Structure 1
Amino acid sequence: MSFLKFILKNPFRRKNSAILAIVGIAIGIIVIVALGGITEGLVNTFEDTIHAGGADFTVSGKETGDSAYGTNTISSNWTDKIANVSGVDEAFPIYVVLTSVGDDYMNTLIGIDPNGTALADISMKEGRIFEDNSSEAILGEIYAEDNNYSVGDTIDIDREEFKIVGIYETGDQNMAGGVFTSISKVGDLMDDEDSISNIYVKVNKGEDPQTVANRIDSQYGDNITTVTSVMEMTQMADMLNMLQASTWAISLLAIVVGGLGIINTMLMSVFERTREIGVLKAVGWSNRKILTMIVGESLVITIVSAIIGSLIGFAACTILGPQIGIEPLFTPKIFIQAFAIAIVVGIIGGIYPALKAVRLPPTEALRYE
């Protein structure tokens, strides 16, 4: 048997110990991958919101709440107030709700004035824009394809029949699977004509969006918040920093727990194989070769754990994320980080037991029963 095959097979001679070690480390990897996917998804969502469509910036509620954007809805009369601020060219409100659409119990319904759709970063692929205050809707290309809808079909929205008059495409992932209709119609459906979620703002030609946003903040900053493409909202930035710090903190905890687990497993392995190590030394194995064997076995366990943990973390987030309103985003960086952590844990966890093994005098090891 080659040295490599020996290293690959040896950790699983003690199945119970190997399984416990793999489970412990895999849990840490699951946490790292899952939190990484969730954090990346939230970052992507926030960035999509910050860089909202063709608008220069958006205005939203100051307080957190249960709206689709994570803030409280605001009164529709804010639209006129914002429109009258010096430097503002256009201001269009949107009302985003989660309601029954077609066969979906919950989907995103976006209400906007037909004249404001240009600020929402959507373009018509087929058909036309809906008319104001009508039972007409346009569907995102992805939603239409997934549910076999075409222009001219009808769709039930909150138990009311709407005619599909267009299919749109967009670069905003949050809207690609949604449905647009008139904001006045959404107000009717929700029985809440005085509430809106956000306001899309376009500034006059030649105006600096940052300056106009600051102007709005100085006038109304106690009640509303501006989110511009050149200035991240402090609340969102702080939230992202907290999410990323939490991810690293939990990852560090996973490293410590995983490292202790693998050290314990490999120490037990060395203890149980004291006589075997003595025999290997007696037949000529060098300290370097024994050290390589122990660290190699440790790496085998942690890499297997990384594979299992990555698969479970990915599957769990993909399945459960949408159920709680989170769209995880997995990048190669997340999996590279998970495997890098597993390798570091494997090396660190194997070095101390390996050093214990190479320091065993052959004669003493051979006497061990």
Structure 2
Amino acid sequence: MSFLKFILKNPFRRKNSAILAIVGIAIGIIVIVALGGITEGLVNTFEDTIHAGGADFTVSGKETGDSAYGTNTISSNWTEKIANVSGVDEAFPIYVVLTSVGDDYMNTLIGIDPNGTALADISMKEGRIFEDNSSEAILGEIYAEDNNYSVGDTIDIDREEFKIVGIYETGDQNMAGGVFTSISKVGDLMDDEDSISNIYVKVDKGEDPQAVADRIDSQYGDNITTVTSVMEMTQMADMLNMLQASTWAISLLAIIVGGLGIINTMLMSVFERTREIGVLKAVGWSNRKILTMIVGESLVITIVSAIIGSLIGFAACTILGPQMGIEPLFTPKIFIQAFAIAIVVGIIGGIYPALKAVRLPPTEALRYE
């Protein structure tokens, strides 16, 4: 029998001890894989959420002015400049004006590209989004209710008739009382097609909104300013970091327990095989070979534990996760970490018993019954 086969088969000669050691390590691996998958799933869900609707931040004029946002309007060509900044996924301009709407002498009219309405963080309650460069508008639900407007009605905006094609809802109380239409149409009404009020910016998935905003400021900070709303995202990121730290703490505890189990198992193995080790030394096995054998047997047990624990952890999360409202996400990194930890535990757990074995004098070991 080759030395490698000897190492592979030897740990399972004492089946009960091997099974107990495997169970102990496997529990730790299950915890690592399961919590790792859950944490990755939460991180992915978090990123999808913060990038699913609403702008990450806005860009506006540098100087104060008399526009609806209290800043001077800026040239529309800034939209293309901002869109080309590294890390920016989308950039849509808006033009906000105060003008006559319906029976109101002054109300907020917001012009935006129809494709950019998602960045305005609004969703349609009734009807549809307006078409580009058309005399169509959508009303905030509060404004529609207060003024008894419905989809299909018409409304006068700056002395021009618009058809109401939708009612939108939003968590922003200021926008809930406003009116949206095409930005090109607002430009026509104001006779100012080259000006905009703000730019809604959406960053690429995985990018830090604050870092992208700082990048824009470093390039164009003399002319424009960025207004970020990343406090909530930062708090959520801190919560996820705490979750990841807790995951590692729980996993570490499980691994320590499993590691103590493997040390105990290997010590018992050395104790039970004292005479066998003495024979091996007597026939010429070196201390190095004895040490390699014991550590190798320990690694066999932990690697088998890693395989079993990974499979159980993956299966348990895949089956039970959706029932608890969690969509786990398993990446190669999780399994690499699990196997790396198992290997480290195997080496550490086997070294002490191996050192005990190599220190046994052959004559005393042979006398052991």
- TM range, normalised to the smaller chain? 0.5 to 0.7
Q: CA–CA distance in 1 between the matches of 2:327 and 2:148? A: 23
How much is the aligned-residue C-alpha RMSD, in angstroms?
A: 13.8
Alignment-derived partner of residue 4 in structure 2: 4
CA–CA separation in structure 2 for the residues paired with 1:72 and 1:23: 68
Kept after mapping to 1: 8 A contact 2:60/2:226: yes
Partner Cα separation in structure 2 for residue 102 and residue 125 of structure 1: 21
Paired with 2:287 and 2:179, the residues of 1 have a C-alpha distance of 67
| 1:209-256 C-alpha deviation (Å, 9 max, x unpaired) | 979999999999999999968666343122112101101111211221
SS in 2 for 1:65: coil
CA contact (8 A) 2:51 2:202 kept: no
Whole-Å separation in 2 of the counterparts to 1:187 and 1:140 = 21
Match of 2:178 in 1: 178
How far apart, CA to CA, are the structure 2 residues paired with 1:17 and 1:253? Answer: 21
Partner-residue secondary structure (3-state), 2:207: coil
Distance 1:367 1:89, change over 3 A: closer
The answer as to whether partners of 1:10 and 1:297 remain within 8 angstroms in 2 is: yes
User: Secondary structure of the residue that 1:233 maps to in structure 2?
Assistant: helix
Give the drift of 1:77. 34
Measured after TM superposition, the shift of residue 155 of structure 1 is: 34
3-state DSSP of counterpart to 1:38: helix
Instruction: Say which one has the larger Rg.
Output: 2
Alpha-carbon distance, 1:10 to partner: 0.2
User: Unpaired runs of 5+ in structure 2?
Assistant: none
Separation in 2, partners of 1:158, 1:34 = 60
Q: Is the 8 A contact 1:144 1:150 kept in 2?
A: yes
2: CA distance between counterparts of 1:268 and 1:84?
66
Structure 1 segments unaligned to the other structure (5+ residues): none
C-alpha separation in 2, matches of 1:248 and 1:204 = 29
Give 3-state SS (helix, strand or coil) of 1:94's partner: strand
CA distance in structure 2 between the partners assigned to 1:98 and 1:308 by the alignment: 66
Percent identity reads: 98
In the alignment, is the contact (CA less than 8 A) between 2:94 and 2:197 conserved in 1? yes
- SS where residue 162 of structure 2 aligns? strand
Counterpart contact for 2:47–2:205, Cα < 8 Å:
no
Q: What is the alpha-carbon distance in structure 2 between the residues aligned to residue 130 and residue 247 of structure 1?
A: 48
* Structure 2 CA distance for aligned equivalents of residues 18 and 65 of structure 1: 77
Q: Could you report, residue by residue, the CA deviation over 1:297-333 in whole angstroms, capped at 9, with x for unpaired residues?
A: 0000000000000011011111111111111111111
Q: Any conservation in 2 of the 1:262–1:350 contact (CA below 8 Å)?
A: yes
Greater shift in the superposed pair: 13-22 or 62-71: 62-71
Query: CA distance change for structure 1 residues 206 and 253 in 2, over 3 Å: closer, same or farther?
Result: closer
Give the direction of change, closer, same or farther, for the CA distance of 1:218–1:269 in structure 2 (3 Å limit).
same
Does the 8 Å contact 1:51/1:57 carry over to 2? no
- Report the secondary structure of 2:232's partner residue: coil
Alignment of 1:13-28 (within 5 A): 13-28=13-28
Deviates more, 1:177-186 or 1:100-109: 100-109
CA contact (8 A) 1:51 1:228 kept: no
Deviations 1:232-282 (A, max 9, x none): 634312211210110111121122111100000000000000000000001
* Cα-to-partner distance string for 1:128-154 (whole Å, 9 max, x where unaligned): 989999999999999999999999999
**Cα distance in 2, alignment partners of residues 250 and 65 from structure 1:** 55
Q: What is the deviation of 1:165?
A: 17
Contact 1:109–1:180 at 8 Å: present in 2 too? yes
Normalised by the length of structure 2, the TM-score is 0.58
